[in-house]
Structure formats: structure tokens, C-alpha cells
Amino acid sequence: MWRGRILVLVGILLVAFTLRTAVTVVPPLTDSINADLPLTPATIGILGMLPTAAFAIFGFLTPYVIRWASLERLTVIAMGIAVAGQVGRVFSPNTPVFLILTVVSLAGLGAGNVLLPPLVKHHFPDRVGLLTAIYVTMLSLGTAIPAQFAVPVGNALGWQWAVGMWAGANVLAVLPWLAVMIKPHPLPAVAAVGATGAQPDAVVVLGQVTPKVRPWTSKMALGLTFMFGCTSLNTYSMFAWLPTILTDAGLDRGAAGSMLALFAALGLPASLLVPVIASRMRNPYPLVLIFVGCFIAGYLGLLLVPSHGTWLWVTLAGLGPGTFPLSLLLINLRTRTKVGAGALSGFSQGVGYALACAGPLLFGILHQNTGGWLVPFCFLFATLIFLAGGAWFIAKPRFLEDERAAPLT
């Protein structure tokens, strides 16, 4: 049984590594891509919006598909779709086709976003905090490494190689899950609840019956949605526009790409520490306030003195998304079952990413219409209020299944 868990662990970590590679590799290469496929400012804004839009649509749909296929089978399908999109877009004859195939690749990754939390709860119900820390760390690595190597690889081999080579990571991520499907291993007894992934009218937990989970009626779920959505809105706005902000302030493309990599890499310490620390806290809301403060301090520096102490402002802003691993952890900490985790994961990530998809686009529109960065940053400051407000509801120590439940029978 332990060999099966190790195989599943490897599969979870490899999938986590792939979930942002297709996103952060593109912004540092927009000038190179523009030489072959015209990218107007509006198109760059759309590219920044596509990840969250695709993650929203396909993340929201994934829990409904779980009832027809296992989590493991869906993971294999998701990775296959991501490979097809990433390989296909490097051969795009024009910009619209490039955008369409980018959506295809992000469809697979959006499904993967939703599948990981219930996979952790399903296979490692006794190690939720630790496993969340490890897989979010891998996700952070997969966010930072492509941004760092995009320009050097693009200069040496062309942007097509720099963009397309990350499909290889998705291919590797499929292999452990194929092995699991070919030779299934017994699951822990606690993880067998709702093993099909479907949401029945009632779920048996520890000999009791809880009603079907309906996250759209839950203040907790809505709170997590705002927390997750506003975190992603800010993060993807920076992914899309930080290089432009810094080159506008006088940095060269290589330095701006390195600052984007720094911004992404700072998710690593948060990914390692936040789930472990928060899983031992009754109410982790103080952590939310710390990360919101980092966002505010970093944004003020980038707005007022972007060319001086740039690394400090990027570091502070890069620590702000520490609310992201906390959001993922709370999916499992605030649910009793895999069914509840799947429902909360799909709802909060689906609707949350829908909220977030407006971030890069609105940030770009506000910049284009005002000619500066003040109004766009004021927009981001406003979203931090909703982030903190939503976190207030989900951080409280209670369970989604109990919030609107009738007395257990």
C-alpha cells in the first residue's frame, strides 16, 4: 500500500508543477512572439485574462464530470489536453489560432487545479497540511522556472522552443497516474467516502448522514471564492503587467523577466510554511492580514519608486499571494469529506477565477486610458478589501457540510 501512495504522491507533485508553466512562460516573450504573431496591447491584456477565464470555466465544470470518471482518469485526460494545446500553439499560423490553442492548454490545467485538493484528501486524508505544502511548493516552482528561462531559451532557440518545451512536463505527469490506473492500490478507509466523486443526496461520514453539499448557498464558500478570486486577480495582473511596469521604469527585458521570476519564486517559502503553520491554527486569519499588508507595501513601492529598490517591492508583492496556498488548504480544512472538498474546490476556483479574469484586462484598460499606473494600482488596492473580507468567513473554524445542514441523523 505504501508503494501505491508514493506513486500517487509523485503524480500529484508532477501535476502541480505543470499547472502554471503555460502561463508564466509567455509574458517575458511577448516581444519575440510579436515578431511572428502580432500582439497589440489589447491582445496582451487578453493573454493575461485567458488563464483565469479558462481556469474558471473548466474548473467550475470539472466537479460535474467527476461523477462519470475517477479522479485519476480525469487527471490523465487533463494533462493530455494541456499537452495538445501547448504543442499546437507553437505552430500557430496567426494570433487568433495562438489564442485558441492557449485556451486548450489552459483547459487541461484548469481541470488539474480543481482535481488536486480532492486527490490529496482522497489519498492522504491523514497528511492534508503537509501534502498541501509540498504540492503548492511544486506549483510555485512550475510558476517561477519558466519565467526565468523564457528569455535565455527564446534567444538561443526561438520563442517556439521556449513556449512548447514545457509540454514535456505534462507528459511526465501522466505516467504515474497511468501506473495507478493499470494497477490500482487499496485506498485508506476514510478516503473511500464518495469514491466515485459524484454528489449524492446524502453522504455517510463516521456512521452519520450529512446532506448534499450546495456551496453556492454558503457564506463560507462565497468567502473562500472572494479570497481565492482576489488573490488570483492580483497575482495574474502582476504576471501580465509586471514586466511592462518595470521596462516602463527603465529596466531591460532580461531584468524585468528576472523580477517576474522573483515575484513567482516568492511563492515557494509561503507554499512550504503557510499550510503547515495554518493547519495548526484554529483561525488563520492573522496570516491573511500579514499577506494583504505585503501586497499593499509592494504595490506602493512599484507605484512610487519602481526603479529604486525594485527587488524589495517585488519581494513584498510576491509574498502577498501567500493567501493562495492558504486558500487551497482551507478547501480541505473546512470540509469533512472528499465530496465536500470537490464541491468547494470547484465552486471557489471556478467562480473565483471568473472574478480574477477581469484583473489583467481591467488593469491594462485603466493604464491605456489614463497613461499611468496610479489608477490601475488603486483598482488592485480595492480588491484587497474584498480579499480580506472573504477570508474572514472561511477562516473561522467550522465545516461546509455543517453550515446549512439539518441535524445529523
Q: Give the pLDDT score at 154.
A: 87
CA 174 to CA 68: how far, in whole Å?
19
DSSP line for 64-124: HHGGGS-HHHHHHHHHHHHHHHHHHHTT-SSHHHHHHHHHHHHHHHHHHHHHHHHHHHHH-
Beta carbons of 185 and 5 less than 8 angstroms apart: yes
Contacts of 51 (CB under 8 A, 6+ apart): 23, 106, 109, 236, 239, 357
Q: Give the pLDDT score at 203.
A: 41
pTM assigned to the model: 0.75
C-alpha cell at 405: 445542514
Q: Give the pLDDT score at 207.
A: 41
Domains detected in the chain: 2-403 (1.20.1250.20)
Backbone angle region of 88, left / alpha / beta, with phi > 0 → left and psi within -120 to 50 → alpha:
alpha
Q: For residue 334, what is the DSSP state?
A: T
Q: Give the pLDDT score at 189.
A: 40
CA 389 to CA 394: how far, in whole Å?
10
Q: Give the pLDDT score at 183.
A: 67
Q: Give the pLDDT score at 213.
A: 63
Q: Give the pLDDT score at 391.
A: 95
DSSP line for 362-382: HHHHHHHHHSSSHHHHHHHHH
Tell me the average confidence (pLDDT) per consecutive run of 10 residues in the chain, 409 residues long: 76 92 84 82 77 80 72 89 92 88 91 86 82 86 84 88 91 90 56 35 41 74 94 88 90 84 82 88 94 97 91 94 92 82 83 84 90 94 96 90 55
